């Protein structure tokens, strides 16, 4: 059973470009969570999704950031018009239900130049 | 967000010794806690969890202790090995399935 997969692992974007981060949850998991981690800091919650629904986006910046988890395919975290402050590691986690532990992917490290 | 902090940012232990990593939280309504291990360049890895109706839970070489009175959580690693070197995060949530609040992390270094 493959774990949570994220791609790309590393992403470099110039200021003003768009970044699209993908997350494929573990098989059988329908709950996806996105977190952001700055260097030497803990993970900060961004958004929680179930298939086709955003359940909690209280940690998501109001502008430029969006997330989706379509019926088919991976969850996508989209950052429009990236700025240097968006440089961070973005982790996706999945769980089989709205309880218990979340399983994390390896992360996407976004660098904005 | 809620405050989840760690007492010590770094910890060095001799191989074979026991390690204790501490974590304080501020939300008295938190009812589920997890310890994660994060190695360099990797995502957090689940170690052990505990619910608020428990004081102690043991796993393989790890024990988590929960003191709800002082809102303190600890992770004990027995016979620490070089492979245990990593950053350890505690995370807590009030409503399972929603967001977890993570502490800053403690960097554990095991000295051979």
pLDDT at B28: 85
- Structure tokens belonging to residue B12: 């060095």
pLDDT at B102: 87
Inter-CA distances, A25 with A4, A18, A28, A101, B92, Å = 5, 23, 8, 13, 22
Q: pLDDT, tens digit, for every residue of B3-31?
A: 455 445 899 999 999 999 999 998 888 88
Residues of chain A with C-beta less than 8 angstroms from the C-beta of B104: 40-42
Q: pLDDT, tens digit, for every residue of A84-96?
A: 999 999 999 998 8
Q: How far apart are CA A77 and CA A47, in angstroms?
A: 9
Q: pLDDT, tens digit, for every residue of A65-91?
A: 999 999 999 999 999 999 999 999 999
> Above 80 in pLDDT, residue B53?
yes
- Structure tokens belonging to residue A113: 């130049």
B102 with A43: Cβ contact below 8 A: yes
B105 with A41: Cβ contact below 8 A: yes
Q: pLDDT, tens digit, for every residue of A4-43?
A: 999 999 999 999 999 999 999 999 899 999 999 987 788 8
pLDDT at B96: 55
Q: Which alpha helices (H) appear in chain B, and where do they start and end?
A: none
Q: Which of B1, B49, B91, B97 to mutate to test the interface with A (most CBs of A within 10 A)?
A: B97
């Amino acid at each position: 059973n493959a774990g949570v997969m994220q791609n790309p692992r590393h992403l470099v974007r110039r200021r003003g470009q768009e970044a699209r981060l993908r997350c494929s949850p573990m098989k059988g998991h329908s709950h996806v969570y996105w977190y952001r981690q700055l260097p030497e800091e803990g993970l900060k919650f961004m958004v929680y999704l179930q298939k086709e629904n955003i359940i909690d986006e209280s940690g998501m910046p109001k502008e430029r950031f969006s997330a989706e988890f379509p019926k088919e395919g991976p969850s996508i975290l989209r950052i429009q018009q990236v700025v240097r402050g968006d440089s961070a590691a973005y982790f996706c986690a999945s769980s089989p239900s709205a309880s218990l532990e979340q399983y994390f992917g390896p992360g996407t490290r976004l660098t904005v130049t | 967000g809620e405050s989840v902090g760690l007492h010590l940012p770094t910890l060095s232990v001799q191989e074979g010794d026991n390690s204790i990593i501490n974590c304080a939280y501020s939300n008295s309504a938190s009812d589920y806690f997890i310890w994660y291990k994060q190695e360099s360049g990797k995502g957090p890895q689940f170690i052990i969890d505990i619910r608020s109706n428990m004081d102690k839970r043991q796993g393989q070489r790890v024990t988590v202790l929960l003191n709800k009175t002082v809102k303190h959580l600890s992770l004990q690693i027995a016979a620490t090995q070089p492979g245990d070197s990593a950053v350890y995060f505690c995370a807590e949530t009030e409503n399972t399935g929603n967001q977890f609040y993570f502490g800053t992390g403690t960097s554990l270094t095991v000295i051979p």
